[in-house]
Amino acid sequence: AQRVTQPEKLLSVFKGAPVELKCNYSYSGSPELFWYVQYSRQRLQLLLRHISRESIKGFTADLNKGETSFHLKKPFAQEEDSAMYYCALKPGGYNKLIFGAGTRLAVHP
Amino acid sequence: DAGVTQSPTHLIKTRGQQVTLRCSPKSGHDTVSWYQQALGQGPQFIFQYYEEEERQRGNFPDRFSGHQFPNYSSELNVNALLLGDSALYLCASSDGSGNTIYFGEGSWLTVV
């Protein structure tokens, strides 16, 4: 079965604290993995994709095939990082996304 | 470029009615997908259109149907609405590679 699991509905941290949003996936092939973010009153937008191995807004994510995880990390959270974060999997050969339920990140001053 | 645009933004329908939602893809994109996002959940893939044909379909009943026009815009139709169809309906567009998928702001459907 193809599935994405985000175990935390809400992650609450203080400004400057490290952040790790967890994502685990179930997929038998080689997946493409993404993190999408939705800020308040804005559309869903791409934050990171694993094939790019880039850092966006200080966030990084590493694909761990052994643990089937793609956790999103940031060393020092900012208040403007407060948003809904969705982990998504794109099955090989298909142009569609399978999303997790999302984690709300709340960064307090 | 306005990106992916959807209409209407909000609508209320009665159980048993039919609804049509519309989507214009980002300029240069020829593939349109529709997702349903229920409250508290992530988006779920409904189906995808390419070259005016349904190319992939998720686990949704036949009450959900769609169409793609020659200008790549798309419609999502839902017949015999149920209370459980109340959700945010998202349109997403991409080019043939699917390397980047862009989303619209969505259409909020409430079924009463």
Where does the pLDDT of residue A69 fall: very low under 50, low under 70, confident under 90, or very high at 90 and above?
very high
Inter-chain Cβ pairs, chain A and chain B, closer than 8 A = 54
Amino acid at A63: L
pLDDT in tens, A43-57: 999 999 887 778 889
Please state which of the ranges A12-16, A63-67, B4-8 shows the lowest mean pLDDT. Answer: A63-67
Q: What is the pLDDT of residue A52?
A: 79
Total domains in chain B come to 1
Where does the pLDDT of residue A92 fall: very low under 50, low under 70, confident under 90, or very high at 90 and above?
confident
CA atoms within 13 A on the CB side of B40: 3
Domain encompassing residue A25 = 3-108
Does A94 sit within 8 Å of B56, measured CB to CB? Answer: yes
Q: What is the pLDDT of residue A47?
A: 94
CATH number for the domain harbouring residue B75: 2.60.40.10
CB distance from B43 to chain A under 8 Å?
A: yes
Domain encompassing residue B24 = 5-111
Q: What is the pLDDT of residue B37?
A: 95
Report helix, strand and coil shares of chain B as percent, to nearest 5: 5, 50, 45
Total domains in chain A come to 1
pLDDT along chain B (112 residues), means of 10: 91 98 95 94 95 92 97 97 97 83 95 97
Q: Which secondary-structure segment (H or E) carries B61?
A: none
Measure Cα distances from A62 to A81, A88, A105 in Å: 19, 14, 19
CATH number for the domain harbouring residue A50: 2.60.40.10
Where does the pLDDT of residue A26 fall: very low under 50, low under 70, confident under 90, or very high at 90 and above?
very high
Q: Please give, rounded to a whole number of angstroms, the shortest distance from the CA of B91 to a CA of chain A.
A: 11
pLDDT above 70 covers a percentage of chain A that reads 100
Using a CB-CB distance cutoff of 8 angstroms, which residues of chain A are in contact with residue B90? Answer: 44
Q: What is the pLDDT of residue B109?
A: 98
